[in-house]
Structure 1
Amino acid sequence: MLFELIAVIVAGVAAGGVVMIVRRIIPALPRWLVPVVAGAAMLAVSISLEYSWFARNSAALPEGVKVATVHENKAFWRPWTYAFPYVDRFIAVSQTGALENEAAEGQKMTSLYIFGRWTPTRRIRAVFDCESGRRADLLPGLVLGEDGSVPDSAWIDTGRDDPVTRTACAEA
Structure 2
Amino acid sequence: MFWELVATVFAGISSAGIALFLRSISKKKLPVWIIPTFAGLGMLAFQVQSEYGWYTHQVSLLPQGVEVVKKVEEEALWRPWSFIYPQTTRFIAADIKNASINALNTNVILVDLYFFERRHLAKRVPQVVNCGTLSRAHLTQNLEVQTHLINQKKWTQLDKKDPLLTKLCQA
Same topology, TM > 0.5: yes
Q: Secondary structure at the match of 1:119?
A: coil
For 2:21 and 2:106, locate their aligned partners in 1 and report how far apart those are by CA, in whole Å: 71
Instruction: Report the Cα offset of residue 80 of structure 1.
Output: 1.0
Task: Report the more deviating stretch, 32-41 or 20-29.
Answer: 20-29
Instruction: Report the Cα offset of residue 119 of structure 1.
Output: 1.4
Question: Who is 1:69 aligned against?
Answer: 70
1:65–1:170 Cα change, 3 Å? farther
Higher relative contact order (CA 8 A, sep 6+): 1
TM-score, normalising length: structure 1: 0.90
Unaligned runs of 5+ in 1: none
Instruction: Report the Cα offset of residue 72 of structure 1.
Output: 0.6
Instruction: Report the Cα offset of residue 151 of structure 1.
Output: 3.6
Unaligned runs of 5+ in 2: none
Asked whether the 8 Å contact 1:130–1:160 carries over to 2, the reply is no
Instruction: Report the Cα offset of residue 145 of structure 1.
Output: 4.0
Instruction: Report the Cα offset of residue 147 of structure 1.
Output: 5.5
Q: What's the % identity of the aligned pairs?
A: 32
Task: Report the more deviating stretch, 156-165 or 104-113.
Answer: 156-165
> Partner amino acid for 2:111?
T
Asked whether the 8 Å contact 1:134–1:160 carries over to 2, the reply is no
Q: Secondary structure at the match of 1:96?
A: coil
Q: How many aligned residue pairs are there?
A: 169
Asked whether the 8 Å contact 2:70–2:91 carries over to 1, the reply is yes
| Structure-to-structure mapping, 1:104-115, within 5 angstroms | 104-115=105-116
Q: Over residues 17-65 of structure 1, what are the superposed CA-to-partner deviations in whole Å (9 max), with x where a residue is unaligned?
A: 2212332332111011100011001000100011110100001100100
2:116 counterpart of 1:118: no
For 2:54 and 2:72, locate their aligned partners in 1 and report how far apart those are by CA, in whole Å: 13
TM-score, normalising length: structure 2: 0.91
Question: Who is 2:21 aligned against?
Answer: 21
Asked whether the 8 Å contact 1:91–1:164 carries over to 2, the reply is no
Asked whether the 8 Å contact 1:93–1:113 carries over to 2, the reply is yes
Q: Secondary structure at the match of 1:120?
A: coil
Asked whether the 8 Å contact 2:143–2:154 carries over to 1, the reply is no
Q: Secondary structure at the match of 1:76?
A: coil
Question: Who is 2:142 aligned against?
Answer: 143
